[in-house]
Amino acid sequence: MPSAPLRLERDDAVATIVLDRPDALNALTVPLKEALLATFTELADDPGIRAVVLTGAGRAFCAGQDLRERLQRDALPLDDEIRVRYNPLIRAMRALPKPIVGAINGVAAGAGASLALACDIRIAAEDASFLLAFARVGLIPDSGVTWLLPRLIGAAKAAELALSAEPLTAIDAERLGLVARVVPAADLVAEAKALARRLVAGAPVALALTKQALEQAWAASFEEQLETEAVLQGRAGATADHAEGLAAFIERRPPRFTGR
């Protein structure tokens, strides 16, 4: 029986997904893409999980589409593969009502870079890199890269990386704001989990609505976004956790948020 292409570890309210095909630099096969989508779908509905860490086993984060699998006779045409497997996965990550911290432990290439960009926050190991390898195999950047990358780092640098397929080092990624910080490789997963644990101390509904507001802001006018904030703040303000936050402030104690 083939081994599972990913591992899911639970530590209190933090789930860690480890892409686990290190011999192929965690390249994305159909079973890995399906397992990832199933895992994000499961975690979305799990009230015990409030934040997710995504990382890779071995020396790479993810080398993108498994190019050997692409040569198999039963591979879907590219447009179908993207509609059926990649886009639902990226949508599930962007819509997950919990923050995703990407622990970028090595190269994030092709659709591996897409996975990294779909995380809400990225922390990178010193020797990590981003590589829009698509051009090297005669393809265009997909799985959200052409939309997310210009918004994250600006159109000019995004065009350079997409057209040249030259690697972006972790240090340069930090300078561009693509990663929140760069840490020694040995500390990466612990740092990412520590950040996730700090996030889960927040009110879950407010975290989910914050993620939603930030997502909607990409495409909205300023006026539309002001209204979105009003609507979503109305929902956050109606939660028991908001009342708890106010009580904790008045009573000078840490809040105990329950997600209600």
Residues lying near ligand T3D in the complex (CB under 6 A) are found at 24-25, 27, 63-68, 70, 78, 81-82, 107, 109-111, 131, 133-134, 136-137, 139, 142
Residue number with CB closer to ligand T3D (44 or 162) = 162
Residue number with CB closer to ligand T3D (123 or 132) = 132
Q: How far is the CB of 222 from ligand T3D (least distance, A)?
A: 35
Strand partners, 128: none
Residue number with CB closer to ligand T3D (51 or 109) = 109
Helix pair angle (111-118, 87-95), 10° resolution: 20
Q: Which amino acid is at 140?
A: I
Cβ–Cβ under 8 Å, residues 6 and 31: no
Residue number with CB closer to ligand T3D (50 or 85) = 85
Residue number with CB closer to ligand T3D (142 or 241) = 142
Residue number with CB closer to ligand T3D (142 or 191) = 142
Q: How far is the CB of 124 from ligand T3D (least distance, A)?
A: 15
- Which pair of structure tokens corresponds to residue 26? 């965690």
Buried b (16+ CB within 10 A) or exposed e, 207-233: bbbbbbbeeeeeeeeeeebeebbeebe
Cβ–Cβ under 8 Å, residues 129 and 182: no
Q: How far is the CB of 85 from ligand T3D (least distance, A)?
A: 8
Q: How far is the CB of 20 from ligand T3D (least distance, A)?
A: 14
Token match 């950047």: residue? Answer: 141
Q: How far is the CB of 141 from ligand T3D (least distance, A)?
A: 8
Q: How far is the CB of 180 from ligand T3D (least distance, A)?
A: 23
Residue number with CB closer to ligand T3D (43 or 125) = 125
Selection from 156, 68, 145, 81 nearest residue 113 by Cα: 145
Helix, strand, coil share of the chain (percent; to 5): 50, 15, 30
Q: How far is the CB of 176 from ligand T3D (least distance, A)?
A: 20
3-state SS, 131-179, equals ECHHHHHCCCCCCCHHHHHHHHHCHHHHHHHHHHCCCEEHHHHHHCCCC
